[in-house]
Amino acid sequence: MLQDIERYLACPHCAQALTRHDRSLRCPAGHSFDLAKQGYVSLLAGDAHTGTGDTAEMVAARADFLAAGHYRPIAEALAEAAASAASVVGEPGGLVADLGAGTGHYLAHVLDALPGKVGAALDISKYALRRAAKAHPRIGAVVCDAWRPLPLRDASAELMLNVFAPRNGPEIRRVLRPGGTLLLVSPTARHLRELVGALGLLSVDEEKQRRIDEKLGPYLEPAGRREVEFTLRLGPQDVRTVVGMGPSAWHTDPERLGAALAELPEPVEVTASVTVAAYRR
């Protein structure tokens, strides 16, 4: 719930602390933010643009696909890595911030593995955060822009998550406490490879992990990684869903997709392949 993370929040205009006043959050400078009835709060600056956020259709597709358990091995690997990172700090409480949290699916798994901690689901899509606000009793959902100063106080997070999402190195470092860990999940070049060629989806280049390391290098130190790879058996609707929930949804023609789907075997075996990497401040 939002009240669990209020002490970690910061005003997006002046970076001062926020406190609750009835159905709003306010800072000492007088900036005020109404709490949505769906359980989230928008801490976007007034000139922010939300056009890059996931649509209601993309969010619904992601929720269906994740609820079916297709990516459970990824969620389990992330929760395992989070428990290991938390054991290094050795404190019972603390904040887990998920940058680009989407529906809160992965953050909920991590919080199940870390009973004493609370989670901040950060995303620019209000459609996603309506679901994230209900994904776990210890999640507070906040609309924000990953490329602007995050509405969290300095050194407020013990752990940060970033799963298939934008990465803002300077802000991640600022928000992480000294010794804190970022857990980053990114696709390898083998991820969904059987669908990329057959359906004309966006591909992942071989140098992706190197580029991530280079961009985060000035702010965080690598602290280990592992690859998680497994085989999915997907029916036609599952394939439609996995296309509709990711970036390819912005670039795929529905008519052409339908024709390409008809050519696939049923079910089709698809490789899921990601890297779970840790970086430490």
The whole model's pTM is what?
0.91
Q: Which regions in the chain score pLDDT beneath 70?
A: 46-52, 88-92, 246-255
CA 107 to the chain's CA centroid:
8
pLDDT at 92: 64
Token pair of 124 as six digits: 């620019």
pLDDT at 200: 75
Contacting residues for 205 by C-beta, under 8 A, at least 6 apart: 189
* CA 106/CA 112 separation, integer angstroms: 10
2-280 CATH fold: Rossmann fold (3.40.50)
Is the dihedral angle over the CA atoms 159, 164, 169, 171 positive or is it negative?
Answer: negative
DSSP string, 226-247: EEEEEEEEE-HHHHHHHHHTSG
Token pair of 35 as six digits: 């709490």
Can you list the alpha helix ranges (DSSP code H) found in the chain? 2-5, 56-67, 72-89, 105-113, 126-132, 169-175, 193-199, 208-216, 236-244, 254-261
Contacting residues for 49 by C-beta, under 8 A, at least 6 apart: none
- The neighbour count for residue 120, using CB atoms within 10 Å, is 30
Terminal alpha carbon distance of the chain? 27
Q: Which residue has the tokens 């966006």?
A: 202
pLDDT at 254: 66
> Which residue pairs from 212-216 have beta carbons closer than 8 angstroms and sit at least 24 positions apart in sequence?
212/167, 212/184, 212/186, 212/277, 215/167, 215/169, 216/167, 216/169, 216/172, 216/182, 216/184, 216/279
Query: If you count them, how many residues does the chain have?
Result: 281
Residue 124, judged by CB atoms within 10 A of its CB (0-12, 13-18, 19+), counts as buried
Each residue of 172-184: pLDDT tens digit? 999 999 999 999 9
Nearest to 165 by CA among 187, 149, 181, 136: 187
CA angle, 38 then 39 then 43, to 5°: 110
